[in-house]
Structure formats: C-alpha cells, structure tokens
Amino acid sequence: MGKNKQSLSIIKIGGNIIDNPVELTQFLADFSKIEGNKILVHGGGKSATKMAQSIGLVPQMIDGRRITDKPMLDVVVMIYAGEINKNVVAQLQANNTNAMGFSGADGNLIQSTKRNHPTIDYGFVGDVQKVNTPLLETLINSGIVPVFCAITHDKNGQLLNTNADTIASELAIAASEVFEVTLNYCFEKAGVLTDVEDENSVIKQINSELYTQLKQEGAIHSGMIPKLDNCFNSLSKGVQKIKIGHHRMLKNSEAICTSIEL
C-alpha cells in the first residue's frame, strides 16, 4: 500500500434502514459526521415491491433474487434511482454533506453486462464489469460524496438492476487502487449471527477458514453467503478493512460488529 493514499469509507445500507424513516434519519446524521472521503451505496427496501404490487405486478423471486422483467425494471429505476436516491441526497444536504446521486449510467461510473445464467433468466439484472475509477477519484477529490443506487447500465442504452452489496464491493475494489478503503455493510443486525434470533450471537471476527467451517455447519446460510463472498473477494483485491453490523458502529468504534479478515 502506498504511503500517500488518502482514506475512503464506503458504506452500504440495507433496505431495512431505507424502510424505516427514523432509522434512516439517524443513519444519515451519523454518516454525515464521518470525516474524510466517503461513498454511500443504498439498496431499495420494500418500496419497489409495494409500488409494483400497487400497479398490479407480481414480484418474482428465485432463491432470494429478484427476477427483473421490463415492467419491474421500470419500477426499480423509478424507486431506486429516483425517489430513494434523491431523498437520501436531499437529507444529506440538510446535514451539510455535499452529496450527489448516481446510477451506474451517470458518467459511465459502473458498467455491467446482463446476467447470463445457464438455467434461469433473471431478466434485466446486471453483473458489474468495470468501474470508472478516474471519474470516481475526481468526484471524491472535488469534495463530492457520491450516493449510488442499485442501478447500472451496459453501455448500449440498457439500464440493469444490480445487487447493491456487489456494487459496494466493486466500488471498493476499484477505489483501492487510489485510496485506502474501508468497506462497511450496515443493516438492522449487530453483525453476522450464529443464531438469527439472538442479537448476542455476533461472530466478532471471521476469516476465510472459519467462514468455510460455518457454512459447512449451516450456521451461515441464505442471504449472508453472497454478502460474505463479496467481502472476501474485496479483501483479496486490495480493500483494507471490512465490517458488517448495525449502523451504530459508524459513530461508536466500540460497538459490537463483525470484522472480516482473509
């Protein structure tokens, strides 16, 4: 790591924070107090599902992943890149944080390809191919706080619904070329739990060896697996530190959370 690298905090917030106005207000106030360079990545929460249902669409999921057909893409673009993103940016401005909202299409910041799965057609779902690191660096060095929604593009005019955890991971990997990056995944739990019902069962440190063991034992499963896969991929490609936990860890360095290590 170069000695002259500035630090950069990348924080991803889950949908459950987005869905709770009180939690979101508190989180954005805490985020605004983080000193130095920072990026916010947000998921979509339940708003897209509610909007889809209100206009007669039936959301489709396979193994916890949303199938994004054309009508559903229209909804997620409207909610993620529009309503949620702009409200978050407005609240950050109210906290004196000079935020600017982005999809991957803006400035060609995040380019993806439509997912090509051998047996499942996920529809308009994108897998990240590249990040425009020079522009990202320019924005950050200009004092802008980028706020990314979970929408990217394919450079051929097509917007794509893209996993927000993956976007945070890919931004962290790309930015680690020029910054010393810390990646935080904030959600409603205190960290990675051995028992989902027990907030006190936080695993404080996970390395790749323990991760393999916990998966085999079934202690870590379902949605936490892709999140942790993203974490280990990021660490192997230059990201300095990764934490998973409740957003209170942003203002309290002593707060219990899960640290991810190789």
Residues in binding site: 44-45, 66, 161
Distance of alpha carbon 229 from alpha carbon 251, whole angstroms? 26
Residues in binding site for substrate: 44-45, 66, 161
At residue 159, the 3 state secondary structure works out as: strand
List, edge to edge, every strand of the sheet that includes 110-114.
Answer: 126-131, 110-114, 151-153, 159-161
- Residue 149 and residue 81 in contact, taking contact as beta carbons nearer than 8 Å: yes
Cα distance from N-terminal residue to C-terminal residue, the chain: 16
Distance of alpha carbon 56 from alpha carbon 182, whole angstroms? 41
